[in-house]
């Protein structure tokens, strides 16, 4: 696996591949890789002839007081894992390579509607940072296909919407969330949990599962169901940020006839904010 730090080096290799009509698959990451990331890399390997992975802790998607400064930078271990998982090229740019005029003075990409709800409401500016950096990375890498995890479901839909809106010729593939044996969704931020918090953490997925069962059993009072999920989380020591039942396709408020729903939640465990979601398909929605 080749590692490059500049867009010029990246393009020199990708241009050769494209010249040979090879299909380029891309996985953007912020590093501190776990098995969930490696699953995205493996999926990319099936979607393309060559796999590019980026590791870039993007300053513009972190808010004031968030963990940009302390986000784990584990490049050595990450490179070894990526080489073993079949990546061909690792792109590790400096902030100045991605933001040549400064991160605070960049041209921004704003995806309406999806940027300001749910996680976007709790983390103002977060999704503008994500859309901006993903656009820059797409322009740098020029992939045919890019792979994102469904754990960050709102991010996945935002990227799909942005690609459609900006007419970018890139196929977006979503990969189901990989979980620990006790059900906790894999996340780089799980490493922030104390031993005691880690024991409690699967309660987030369990509360969503109770919600899913209720929807499948015919519960249609979504506010009351979300309140019950919130109570379960409070009892397990979480501080819920939001719990919401949305249409899976676009995160709009569901209508009675909608069958593909998703329950999304964000909740604090101590000083760590965890997110998770559960897609639910109703057989007889109305
Ligand atoms: O999901 C992430 O790790 C990041 O939001 C991404 C897509 C790499 C953009 O910085």
- Which of 182, 187, 186, 188 is CA-nearest to residue 200? 182
Select which of 37, 126, 144, 222 is catalytic.
37
Q: Are strands 260-269 and 239-247 parallel, antiparallel or unpaired?
A: antiparallel
pTM attached to this predicted model: 0.98
Please give the pLDDT value at position 37: 98
Atom of ligand 1 nearest to the CA of 159: 7
pLDDT tens digits, 258-268: 999 999 999 99
Nearest CA to ligand 1 atom 5: 130
The reply to whether 37 belongs to the active site is: yes
pLDDT tens digits, 165-200: 999 999 999 999 999 999 999 999 999 999 999 999
Confidence of residue 285 (pLDDT cuts 50, 70, 90): confident
Going from the Cα of 14 to the center of ligand 1, the distance in angstroms, rounded, reads 21
Atom of ligand 1 nearest to the CA of 152: 1
Contact between 240 and 252 under an 8 Å Cβ cutoff? The reply is: no
Q: What is the CA radius of gyration of the chain?
A: 19
- Tokens of residue 240, six digits: 């819920």
Positive or negative, the CA dihedral 142, 144, 148, 153 is positive
Nearest CA to ligand 1 atom 6: 29
Residues contacting 150, CB < 8 A, separation 6+? 156, 174, 175, 176, 177, 277, 279
Task: Find the length of the chain.
Answer: 286
134 lines ligand 1 (CB under 6 A): yes
């Amino acid at each position: 696996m080749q590692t490059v730090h500049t867009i010029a080096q990246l393009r020199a290799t990708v241009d050769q591949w494209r010249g040979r009509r090879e299909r380029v698959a891309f996985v953007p990451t912020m590093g501190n890789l776990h098995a969930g990331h490696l699953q995205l890399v493996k999926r990319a390997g099936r979607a393309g002839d060559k796999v590019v992975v980026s590791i870039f802790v993007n300053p513009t998607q972190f808010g004031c007081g968030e963990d940009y400064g302390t986000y784990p930078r584990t490049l050595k271990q990450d490179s070894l894992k990526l080489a073993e998982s079949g990546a061909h090229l690792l792109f590790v740019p400096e902030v100045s390579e991605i933001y040549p005029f400064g991160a605070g003075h960049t041209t921004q990409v704003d995806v309406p509607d999806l940027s300001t709800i749910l996680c976007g409401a709790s983390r103002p500016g977060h999704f503008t940072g994500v859309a901006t950096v993903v656009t820059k990375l797409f322009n740098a890498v020029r992939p045919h296909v890019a792979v994102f995890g469904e754990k960050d479901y709102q991010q996945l839909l935002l990227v799909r919407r942005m690609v459609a809106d900006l007419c970018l010729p890139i196929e977006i593939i979503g990969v189901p969330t990989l979980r620990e044996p006790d059900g906790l969704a894999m996340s780089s931020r799980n490493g922030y949990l104390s031993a005691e918090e880690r024991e409690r953490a699967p309660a987030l997925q369990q509360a969503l599962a109770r919600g899913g069962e209720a929807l499948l059993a015919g519960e249609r009072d979504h506010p009351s169901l979300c309140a019950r999920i919130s109570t379960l989380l409070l009892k397990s020591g979480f501080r819920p940020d939001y719990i919401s039942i949305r249409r899976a396709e676009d995160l709009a408020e569901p209508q009675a006839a909608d069958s593909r729903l998703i329950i999304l939640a964000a909740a604090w465990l101590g000083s760590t904010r965890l997110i998770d979601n559960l897609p639910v398909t109703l057989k007889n929605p109305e």
